[in-house]
């Protein structure tokens, strides 16, 4: 007697259906596979510093291992690290926060996830200036809430205006998510610009502020934290930061949030049922990063600035790409709309930023990320967190490819 056993059918949850692998990751993995086959490709798609983690940080991690700091850490984070975070926060207004208002997470991305899982209900809205980091949209969607992107073009240096913010707010608005310096545009808000946005938020007390300041230490102009210009809004503000970008610790997965105790307590509850405490060794390393020598920050900032200036100049010299000079982070977000309507050597007409990036990859062997991935088409993102020699070669390849369009 043959008994047929039915193969169970996998079914995604509604939450999981709304989430997809980011286009950045898709491009990166595709390029890695092609390079493994021997293809000559320069990839400028990933936002990861090419510098090593400073040696004092690595030594602190090693010492923590030898000292037996390998057990479960507190879910909220090691007290000494939370204290160091508060002391390191240069914009701390009048010492109003203490370590009980800090949560340590497995990367800044988890801080965002914890915050939204702790606060968003189905149908709630999160306002974000576009272009925006790709994960924002998916994290909000996973929480069954709605992202409300507000297009901020190059004409305004990719910055949100008070009028735009006011027009986007509804009774369902829960958060304003502001990234300064921004990914992918490098937009850096001045204290005056932040103050003007704060005035709008004061008139809308139901809206919370999530300030993603992960690129704080990669600012070419003066950095201002939202905490610094609006201390009266601290009761509904969450600051997100971490060690990944400034200290070249992307793989250590260590970020934090600073906010009102009730919010932090709720986020700790959420984290306690997912990852629990962040890696104890990474926390020991983060203490060394925040309390040790800081000269590495200025040294690497100078290197990033040199690369930024070179890339902006090289792309603008093509005359078919318009590249603004970013105020922070390590990306440029040039417009490629002047190439639309032009044809490639094989006669294909370019009509979108994705087609432009595909052309550059196919003809020049340079991987870029199209602007559509960041909610603002007509652009592409190029990360200059790479060696200058690679940037020079890559920009030359892009220029040669663009010159062949007709």
Is the pTM higher than 0.75? The answer reads yes
Residue 318 lies in a domain: yes
Confirm if 212 and 189 have CB atoms less than 8 A apart: no
Give the CATH number of the domain where residue 370 resides.
3.90.1150.10
Residue-wise pLDDT tens for the chain (406 aa)?
Answer: 677 777 788 888 888 888 888 888 888 888 889 889 999 999 999 989 999 999 999 999 999 999 999 999 999 999 999 999 999 885 444 445 676 799 999 999 999 999 999 999 999 999 999 999 999 999 999 999 999 999 999 999 999 999 999 999 999 999 999 999 999 999 999 999 999 999 999 999 999 999 999 999 999 999 999 999 999 999 999 999 999 999 999 999 999 999 999 999 999 999 999 999 999 999 999 999 999 999 999 999 999 999 999 999 999 999 999 999 999 999 999 999 999 999 999 999 999 999 999 999 999 999 999 999 999 999 999 999 999 999 999 999 999 999 999 9
CA distance 231 to 207: 15
Q: What domain range is 304 assigned to?
A: 17-46+296-403
Where does a domain end: 262, 291, 320? 291
Q: Please indicate, yes or no, whether residues 77 and 170 belong to a single structural domain of this protein.
A: yes
Where does a domain end: 248, 275, 291? 291
Query: Total structural domains in the chain?
Result: 2
- Which residues lie below 8 Å from residue 228, measured CB to CB, with a gap of 6+? 91, 93, 191
Q: Please indicate, yes or no, whether residues 316 and 215 belong to a single structural domain of this protein.
A: no
Give the CATH number of the domain where residue 83 resides.
3.40.640.10
Residue 10 lies in a domain: no
Q: Please indicate, yes or no, whether residues 265 and 305 belong to a single structural domain of this protein.
A: no
Where does a domain end: 256, 291, 326? 291
Q: Please indicate, yes or no, whether residues 318 and 363 belong to a single structural domain of this protein.
A: yes
Nearest partner of 182 among 154, 144, 203, 140, judged by Cα: 154
- Which residues lie below 8 Å from residue 37, measured CB to CB, with a gap of 6+? none
Residue 12 lies in a domain: no
**Pairing verdict, β 146-151 and 366-367:** unpaired
- Which residues lie below 8 Å from residue 401, measured CB to CB, with a gap of 6+? 359, 360, 363, 364, 366
Residue 302 lies in a domain: yes
Q: Please indicate, yes or no, whether residues 322 and 361 belong to a single structural domain of this protein.
A: yes
Residue 4 lies in a domain: no
Q: Please indicate, yes or no, whether residues 23 and 122 belong to a single structural domain of this protein.
A: no
């Amino acid at each position: 007697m043959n008994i047929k056993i039915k193969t169970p059918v996998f079914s995604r949850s509604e939450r999981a259906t709304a989430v997809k692998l980011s286009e950045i990751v898709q491009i990166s993995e595709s390029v890695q596979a092609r390079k493994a086959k021997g293809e000559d490709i320069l990839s400028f798609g990933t936002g990861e510093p090419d510098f090593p983690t400073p040696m004092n940080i690595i030594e602190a991690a090693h010492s923590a291992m030898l000292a037996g700091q390998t057990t479960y850490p507190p879910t909220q984070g090691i007290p000494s690290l939370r204290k160091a975070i508060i002391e390191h926060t240069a914009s701390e207004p009048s010492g109003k926060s203490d370590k009980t208002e800090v949560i340590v997470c497995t990367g800044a991305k988890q801080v965002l996830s914890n915050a939204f899982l702790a606060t968003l209900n189905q149908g709630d809205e999160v306002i974000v200036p576009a272009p925006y980091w790709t994960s924002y949209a998916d994290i909000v969607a996973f929480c069954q809430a709605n992202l409300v992107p507000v297009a901020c073009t190059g004409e305004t240096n990719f910055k949100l205006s008070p009028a735009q913010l006011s027009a986007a707010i509804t009774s369902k608005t829960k958060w304003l998510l502001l990234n300064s310096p921004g990914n992918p545009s490098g937009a850096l808000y001045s204290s005056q610009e932040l103050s003007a946005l704060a005035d709008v938020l004061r008139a809308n007390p139901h809206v919370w502020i999530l300030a993603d300041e992960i690129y704080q230490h990669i600012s070419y102009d003066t950095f201002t934290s939202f905490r610094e210009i609006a201390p009266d809004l601290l009761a509904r503000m969450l600051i997100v930061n971490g060690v990944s970008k400034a200290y070249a610790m992307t793989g250590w997965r260590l970020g934090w949030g600073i906010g009102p105790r009730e919010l932090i307590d709720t986020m700790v509850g959420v984290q306690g049922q997912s990852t629990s405490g962040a890696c104890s060794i990474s926390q020991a390393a983060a203490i060394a990063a925040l309390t040790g020598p800081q000269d590495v920050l200025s040294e690497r900032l100078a290197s990033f600035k040199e690369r930024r200036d070179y890339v902006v100049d090289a792309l603008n010299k093509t005359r078919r790409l318009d590249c603004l000079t970013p105020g922070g982070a390590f990306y440029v977000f040039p417009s490629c709309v002047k190439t639309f309507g032009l044809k490639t050597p094989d006669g294909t007409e370019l009509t979108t930023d994705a087609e432009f990036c595909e052309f550059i990859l196919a003809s020049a062997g340079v991987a870029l990320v199209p602007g559509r991935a960041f909610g603002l088409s007509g652009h592409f993102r190029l990360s200059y967190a790479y060696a200058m020699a690679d940037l020079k070669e890559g920009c030359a390849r892009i220029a040669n490819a663009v010159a062949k369009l007709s």
